[in-house]
Amino acid sequence: MTQRVLTTESGAPVADNQNSATAGVGGPILLQDQHLLEKLARFNRERIPERVVHARGSGAYGYFEVTDDVTGFTRADFLSAVGKRTETFIRFSTVADSLGGADAVRDPRGFALKFYTDEGNYDLVGNNTPVFFIKDPIKFPDFIHSQKRDPFTGRQEPDNVWDFWAHAPEATHQVTWLMGDRGIPASYRHMNGYGSHTYQWTNTEGEAFFVKYHFKTNQGVRSLSSEQAAELAGRDGSSHQTDLLQAIERGVNPSWTLHVQVMPAAEAADYRFNPFDLTKVWPHSDYPLQRVGRLVLDRNPDNVFAEVEQAAFSPNNFVPGIGPSPDKMLQGRLFAYADAHRYRLGVNHTQLPVNAPRTAVVDNYGRDGLHATRNGARHDRNYEPNSYAGPAQTDAPLSAPLAVHGWTGTHAAPAHTKDDDFFQAGELYRLMSEDEKGRLVANIAGSLSQVTRDDVIEKNLAHFHAADAEYGQRVEDAVRALRED
């Protein structure tokens, strides 16, 4: 095998990578040692800002294969024929902790999926829960601040966590999910994924439908108890990364079956729950799951930094036939996600290999900026319209228009007949077995009992009482017992 030659960043061969250049034997290092200075300067700049949320993540490549005809609902080309396959990249993550946090913790999991379609990249950004803690993006920074490390103590504080939830009764549904058995997945392979938000599909006739995505794991749902998770996190902080990597390397390729719930757009206004409220689900009895296809992960990234940390997902990356809904949290994320990547990775982050389209041709007037690699040829113009055969608009909207009416202002979300902050949390509690209820109560009480303010505890107990009388009483009794010890 021919020995490769070590070079500097400019391509010059390196004579000595073991010893710095000095003024004589044992003398001080010379400023002219370009190789040394380059290595140290690059080393100082190896890290980019980590994600504020979803910092700790793992990823894999795979494909999505259509198994059922959904052309009656959407004209999206990658869903246009049974058997059609589209390359994908997925990033799993925890939400609240930093890049150095453990995988096996009680926290929602990100489930962000990029489809490299022939019509451009489609990003579906979701979680392993079908709901979330809040319904309006203006509260998102406050929520995340309450879950992050306290500015003084430098750790996550139960006082902050539960104080925010005390003032956010709509969080009761997601808190019930988080503190239940599915709050700590055994691995990324053994959890479901959800689009969580409501999206719009449009068919070739221009008919609009609202949809929710459900990725059901074909490995079966498996979760960890708090005790199991603590042991695993102490033994291997990268447990979920290890599991995903080794499974794919062994050829045990994890897969999920995608189903959607489909609501004709005309039914949204009179549905019993606000269909665009991220703290609510659509009961399957109202809108049954309809199978679409399967997602298979079959290749690990070659470089975690280049392909997992630099992977950028944005829910405003739509393709023809798919678009947004009036979901307020989704509307906020249409801006926030793309803006986060422009900050972390630069305005040209879409040109990075993991983010660039595979088959679709990118042709626009974006120029310059940090790390620009696609800047046009000498005769290309960077304005539009022009007389030089530059790219032009299609006049074909990606999705159907959304009707709006009323006065501008800061409005609360419209109330539907069954809308309240507690009904669905109570329904979820009542679906649980007795053992599941016991673990849920113990998990909540173990955390809530650490809160130092009685009024914050009482406000949270009131939420559980409102969801279900038995639920509230059991949590109250368990908290009291722990505080009396």
- DSSP assignments along 77-123, one per residue: GGGSSTT-EEEEEEEEEESSS-TTS-SSSSS-EEEEEEEEETTEEEE
Q: For 349, which DSSP code? A: G
Helix (H, G, I), strand (E, B) or coil at 209: strand
The two tokens of residue 38 are 């380059």
Task: Using a cut of 0.85, tell me whether the model's pTM lies above it.
Answer: yes
Helix (H, G, I), strand (E, B) or coil at 137: helix
111/132 Cα distance (integer angstroms):
13
64/454 Cα distance (integer angstroms):
50
37/31 Cα distance (integer angstroms):
8
Per-residue pLDDT of the chain (485 residues; tens, 9 = 90+): 899 999 999 999 999 999 999 999 999 999 999 999 999 999 999 999 999 999 999 999 999 999 999 999 999 999 999 999 999 999 999 999 999 899 999 999 999 999 999 999 999 999 999 999 999 999 999 999 999 999 999 999 999 999 999 999 999 999 999 999 999 999 999 999 999 999 999 999 999 999 999 999 999 999 999 999 999 999 999 999 999 999 999 999 999 999 999 999 999 999 999 999 999 999 999 999 999 999 999 999 999 999 999 999 999 999 999 999 999 999 999 999 999 999 999 999 999 999 999 999 998 888 888 888 888 878 888 888 999 988 899 999 889 988 888 888 998 888 899 899 999 999 999 999 999 999 999 999 999 999 999 999 999 999 999 999 999 999 999 999 999 87
**Which sequence positions are flagged as catalytic?**
54, 127
45/48 Cα distance (integer angstroms):
7
115/84 Cα distance (integer angstroms):
13
Helix (H, G, I), strand (E, B) or coil at 217: strand
Q: For 2, which DSSP code? A: P
The two tokens of residue 468 are 């279900």
Cα angle, residue 29 at apex, residues 28 and 31 outer, rounded to 5°: 130
382/390 Cα distance (integer angstroms):
9
- Tokens 């979760």 locate to 223
